[in-house]
């Protein structure tokens, strides 16, 4: 097993978010879409553990932690994951206290199957952020880090 397995899982989570953002067949209860947002940020932060424990990945735990702390997007990801895991944020990495917030839903009904588009918001101390935009930045930061260390994303 290698970090690639978790990175590929993260990419699949991201693709589900992209479908929600751009529009998809509305074939499940609405709370499932919010679950996909949480799932992305959980898997995104867990990539850290896969990188640390992959003996073939050429970075130390300290380098990986430093990288997270150097990027606000990854700090927010960590805080979302930790707040979700523990029901409250105990040791924040950012000063933003992020949480999955509101959503704008666009539902299309008609002769075809219903379609849904949802824009989720991440609420932070400095104002709302687009959840898909944050996810995009987090995924790209991890991709850049892995490539910079000579790994394959």
- Separation CA 125–CA 119 (nearest Å): 19
Strands (E), the chain: 24-25, 99-108, 115-123, 129-130
- Contact in structure between 105 and 120 (CB atoms under 8 Å): no
Taking 90 as the threshold, does the pLDDT of residue 110 lie above it? no
Nearest to 50 by CA among 82, 84, 81, 9: 9
CA distances from 106 to 26, 101, 150 (A): 11, 17, 42
- Separation CA 91–CA 52 (nearest Å): 20
pTM of the entire predicted model: 0.91
Task: Categorize the per-residue pLDDT at 65 as very low, low, confident or very high, splitting at 50, 70 and 90.
Answer: very high
Task: Categorize the per-residue pLDDT at 80 as very low, low, confident or very high, splitting at 50, 70 and 90.
Answer: very high
Tens-place pLDDT, residues 113-139:
889 999 999 999 999 999 999 999 999
Average pLDDT rounded to a whole number, residues 134-147: 97
Chain centroid to Cα 7, Å, comes to 11
- Separation CA 146–CA 152 (nearest Å): 6
CA distances from 103 to 5, 73, 106 (A): 30, 20, 10
In this structure, the number of other CB atoms found within 10 A of the CB of residue 75 comes to 18
């Amino acid at each position: 097993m290698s970090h690639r397995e978790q990175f590929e899982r993260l990419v699949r989570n991201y693709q589900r978010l992209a479908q929600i953002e751009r529009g998809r067949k509305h074939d499940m209860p609405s709370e499932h879409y919010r679950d996909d947002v949480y799932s992305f940020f959980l898997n995104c932060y867990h990539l850290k553990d896969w990188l640390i424990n992959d003996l073939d990945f050429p970075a130390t735990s300290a380098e990986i932690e430093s990288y997270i702390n150097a990027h606000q997007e990854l700090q927010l990801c960590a805080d979302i994951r930790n707040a979700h895991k523990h029901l409250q944020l105990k040791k924040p990495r950012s000063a933003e206290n992020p949480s999955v917030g509101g959503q704008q839903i666009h539902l299309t009904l008609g002769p075809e199957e219903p379609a849904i588009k949802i824009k989720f918001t991440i609420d932070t101390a400095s104002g709302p952020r687009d959840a898909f935009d944050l996810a995009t930045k987090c995924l790209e930061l991890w991709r850049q880090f892995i490539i910079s260390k000579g790994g394959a994303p």
